[in-house]
């Protein structure tokens, strides 16, 4: 029988751990604080920011909610980040992506103090992570690894196939699962992969982070495999909202084949936010 992994329940445990660590810091006069900068009013970004603000409240941490008009200049945004870098009461800085086209994402990411880079996007943060040095761990890959481990899915010796090579999920997740602690054999697939199904059908653990609704069909999954669906796609429908959220995996086909599977929503998403809270607490502890 397939186990549907409850990401919300597992995330709640990690948020509770973050809350307890934040209480210890507050008893010493330090309130962990995350500054979230949002440029413009992208509906998806607004939703993500609300989720992060809610998690900060639940974990007893402070938040700086900074909203900027879409017309803000790159220089003004970089100046704001410099102020936040210098603010000793701010431990983490997160600039919500995507940003308007006139702002260079790399310039913004590179301007964040690596000690406050709780997303682990800065080249220094990412470099330390990939080299296995002490660093933050990117939130979504960290959440995926925790989901697998907490669900009792064997990691050492498993063949993991990751579909998607983004710098945010695919590449760092492949690196994380290949570490000696996890000891997986990892295949990284992408848009240039020939015969994708021939790879996914051999996976003990299949992680899909391609951003394409319904990419993985039931016949592309090995019987009994663990399927972790990172994708979250808006598909138009006749509901009052006008859309529904679906993953990169055809859940209706996969659920009868997989041994474990994450739902969308309610799987990886809550874990990403929980791991962000973990990183904010860690940043405060390190400072």
Active site residues: 52, 96, 119
For 228, other C-beta atoms within 10 Å of its C-beta total 31
For 94, other C-beta atoms within 10 Å of its C-beta total 24
The pair of structure tokens assigned to 265 is 């929503």
Q: What is the largest CA-CA distance in the chain?
A: 56
Q: At what angle do helices 43-58 and 7-27 cross, to 10 degrees?
A: 60
Separation of alpha carbons 11 and 95, rounded Å: 22
Residues 6+ apart with CB under 8 A from 47: none
Residues 6+ apart with CB under 8 A from 164: 170, 189, 190, 208, 209, 210, 211, 230
For the chain, strand residue ranges (E) read: 3-4, 33-39, 62-68, 92-95, 159-163, 185-189, 205-208, 226-229, 233-236, 243-246, 260-261
């Amino acid at each position: 029988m397939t186990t549907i992994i409850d990401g919300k329940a597992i995330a709640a445990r990690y948020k509770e751990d973050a809350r307890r660590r934040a209480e210890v810091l507050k008893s010493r006069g330090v309130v962990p604080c995350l500054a979230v900068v949002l440029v413009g009013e992208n509906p998806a970004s607004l939703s993500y920011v609300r989720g992060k603000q809610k998690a900060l409240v639940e974990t007893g941490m402070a938040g700086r909610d900074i909203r900027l008009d879409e017309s803000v200049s790159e220089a003004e945004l970089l100046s704001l980040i410099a102020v936040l870098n210098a603010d000793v009461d701010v431990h983490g800085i997160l600039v919500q992506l995507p940003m308007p086209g006139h702002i260079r994402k790399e310039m913004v990411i590179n301007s964040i103090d690596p000690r406050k880079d709780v997303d682990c996007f800065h080249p220094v943060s990412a470099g330390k992570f990939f080299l296995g040095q002490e660093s933050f761990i990117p939130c979504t890959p960290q959440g995926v690894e925790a989901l697998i481990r907490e669900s009792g899915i064997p990691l050492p010796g498993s063949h993991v196939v990751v579909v998607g090579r983004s710098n945010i999920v695919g590449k760092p997740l492949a690196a994380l699962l290949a570490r000696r602690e996890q000891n997986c054999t990892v295949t990284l697939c992408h848009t240039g992969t020939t015969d994708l199904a021939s790879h996914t059908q051999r996976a003990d653990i299949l992680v899909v982070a391609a951003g394409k609704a319904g990419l993985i069909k039931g016949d592309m999954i090995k019987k009994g495999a663990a399927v972790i669906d990172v994708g979250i796609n808006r598909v138009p429908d006749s509901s009052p909202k006008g859309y529904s959220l679906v993953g990169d995996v055809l859940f209706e086909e996969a659920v009868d084949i997989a041994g474990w599977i994450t739902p969308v929503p309610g799987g990886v998403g809550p874990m990403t936010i929980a791991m962000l809270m973990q990183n904010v607490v860690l940043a405060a502890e390190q400072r």
